[in-house]
Amino acid sequence: MKKTSIFIKLLGMFIFFALVIIGILWVMQSFFLKDFYHKQKINQMKNYGLELENQIRDSGFSQETLDEMEKTAQLLNGRVTVMDNNGSISIQQGNMMGIPRMVRIPTEIWRRVRNREIVPFRIPGHMGRMESIGLLIPADNYFLLIQTPLEVIEESVAISKQFYLYILLVAFIAAIFLSMILSRTITKPLVKLNKVASEMSKLNFDVRWDEDRGDEIGELGETINFLMDKLKKTFGDLKQELLKEKDLEKMRKQFVARVSHELQTPIALVGGYTEALQDKVYTDEDEEREYFQIIEEEMSKMSNMVRDLLDLSQLESGSFKVKVETFEISSVIENLLSKFRILHRDKNLQFSITAKNEEYYVSGDEYRIEQVITNLLQNAVNHCSINGHIDIKITEGIDKIVVEVFNEGNPIKEEDLPYIWESFYKSRDRKSGTGLGLAIVKNVLDLHKSDYGVLNTSKGVVFFFHLEKAREEV
């Protein structure tokens, strides 16, 4: 299909509208200008006549009045006549060449005038005399006849028509010129928008609409920019997803490892307490009930962990959101230590907590911070020697609460320190764990904007992190 430029279409439309308007003006001046001119002339004669009537009423037929009549006749290039009730001429001012001084007024005109009606009428020319327009005005005891040559009116109309013809011709040329400018002004940004859209169809999203316009075209350009940005981001995300798909098998293995790591501790706790219940190691019904309660809590925690595993897999992408609330952290640590004492009694580990106060209120996601402490404790257990000591120390700063997890044992090798926070990283001499625990700790603490780290000491290793002190205790 042959394409027609929008510039040509707009130019043709504007020229068509110009031709329609010029045509309407031509028809109006051809068919209505003469009648309009006649009416305007009669109204002018009527106004002059009424002014003369007032002049005669005030001053009579004085010299001043006669001068005014002569002046009016000259302005009209015609004649002013005062007639008595019988139609005889009393006074006549002005000289019209080719028009007789005596005018025969039709009987019908006299009848209407005697009924106090101002009547315009056409005075025909005879024997080479010019036609004229007369206006008969009734007054007190006299009639006022005002005449003007019709030839002058006809000449004026003809000259006006010729003048309008030139005006319309100039207007047509100007309309073409302005139509070209206007069409170019409208189509230029549209052509630019079309180029931007064409580049977008080629998946080139770096081309931009850069004109500052306050009209609909400018809004369209901004919309295209917005669409380009969205498409660029979408295609970028799609490329990232495609890259991720290439490592699908690796991601599956990492996911399985994460599941295993997250469920390891609660399953072990449930198994330990279940075995304790089977062996009836409890001393009374209250302790038995406590064992059942711990099993129920751990089963609930496993259910929550399974539900949140996909959220945890997004920690490194930053899309996961923590639920910040105020909670008391020392009680959380005490509960965890109680569980770990039972779980790792076979290693004869010593668990303790060091704190000056009984309660420390912090702001954070309680469930995620409990995960952090659990992973740090599990890491401490993995690296603590048999009969070793694990201590959690809580200290209070001006606006921070510092938690330190210490375990006796060998220090971390210097070459391993930069990598211990990475997912699945395990030192060569480490036999237990999957390498996910510290990576989860890192991402959770990053979401809390916490300062954290690890230090080698003369007796072992200390992991620490900071939490914001809560403004109000609950």
- Cα torsion 193, 199, 203, 206: sign: negative
Output the pLDDT for position 431. 47
In a domain, 257, yes or no: no
pTM: 0.40
Residue 28: give its domain's CATH number. 3.30.450.20
Output the pLDDT for position 445. 92
Ranges in the chain, pLDDT < 50: 1-2, 248, 308, 431-434
Q: What is the 3-state secondary structure (H, E, C) of 390-426?
A: EEEEEEECCCEEEEEEEEECCCCCCCCHHHCCCCCCC
In a domain, 288, yes or no: no
Summarised one tens digit per residue, pLDDT across range 25-77 is: 777 776 777 778 788 888 988 998 889 888 888 888 889 988 888 898 888 88
Task: Identify which of 403, 412, 287, 268 has the alpha carbon closest to the alpha carbon of residue 345.
Answer: 268
Q: Residue 429 phi/psi, 5° resolution?
A: -90, 10
DSSP strand pairing (89-93 vs 350-355): unpaired
Q: Residue 34 phi/psi, 5° resolution?
A: -65, -50
Q: Which of 99, 123, 156 is the last residue of a domain?
A: 156
- A 10 A CB-CB count for 435 gives 18
Joined tokens for residue 135: 């206006």
DSSP strand pairing (350-355 vs 361-364): unpaired
In a domain, 267, yes or no: no
Tell me if residue 3 falls in helix, strand or coil: coil
Summarised one tens digit per residue, pLDDT across range 329-382 is: 999 999 999 999 888 888 889 999 998 888 999 999 998 899 899 989 988 998
DSSP character at residue 202: T
Joined tokens for residue 415: 């070459």
Token look-up 């259910």 returns: 303
The CA-atom distances, in angstroms, between 316 and each of 195, 369, 375, 394 are 40, 17, 17, 28
Output the pLDDT for position 1. 44
C-beta separation of 145 from 81 below 8 A: yes
Nearest-angstrom CA–CA distance, 420 and 318:
20
- A 10 A CB-CB count for 28 gives 12
- Sheet containing strand 119-123, edge to edge, reads 89-93, 79-83, 142-149, 132-139, 119-123
| Range 5-12 contact pairs with CB under 8 angstroms and sequence separation of 24 or more | 5/187, 6/187, 6/190, 7/183, 7/184, 7/187, 10/179, 10/182, 10/183, 10/186, 10/187, 11/179, 11/180, 11/183
Residue 390: give its domain's CATH number. 3.30.565.10
C-beta separation of 207 from 199 below 8 A: yes
Q: Which domain holds residue 356?
A: 314-469
Q: Which of 156, 171, 202 is the last residue of a domain?
A: 156
C-beta separation of 470 from 363 below 8 A: yes
In a domain, 197, yes or no: no
Residues 6+ apart with CB under 8 A from 229: 205
Q: Which of 139, 156, 173 is the last residue of a domain?
A: 156
Output the pLDDT for position 390. 94
Nearest-angstrom CA–CA distance, 269 and 272:
5
In a domain, 101, yes or no: yes
Output the pLDDT for position 332. 93
Residues 6+ apart with CB under 8 A from 292: 277
Task: Identify which of 408, 407, 341 has the alpha carbon closest to the alpha carbon of residue 376.
Answer: 407
Summarised one tens digit per residue, pLDDT across range 137-168 is: 898 888 998 888 877 666 766 777 677 777 77
C-beta separation of 442 from 376 below 8 A: no
Phi-psi region of 183 (alpha: psi -120 to 50; beta: other; left: phi over 0): alpha
Task: Identify which of 461, 453, 273 has the alpha carbon closest to the alpha carbon of residue 385.
Answer: 461
Nearest-angstrom CA–CA distance, 285 and 57:
134
C-beta separation of 149 from 99 below 8 A: yes
Burial status of residue 471 (CB atoms within 10 A of its CB: 0-12, 13-18, 19 or more)? exposed
Helix axes 33-59, 6-31, angle to 10 degrees: 50
Tell me if residue 459 falls in helix, strand or coil: coil
Domain count within the chain: 2
Task: Identify which of 75, 11, 27, 26 has the alpha carbon closest to the alpha carbon of residue 49.
Answer: 75
In a domain, 163, yes or no: no
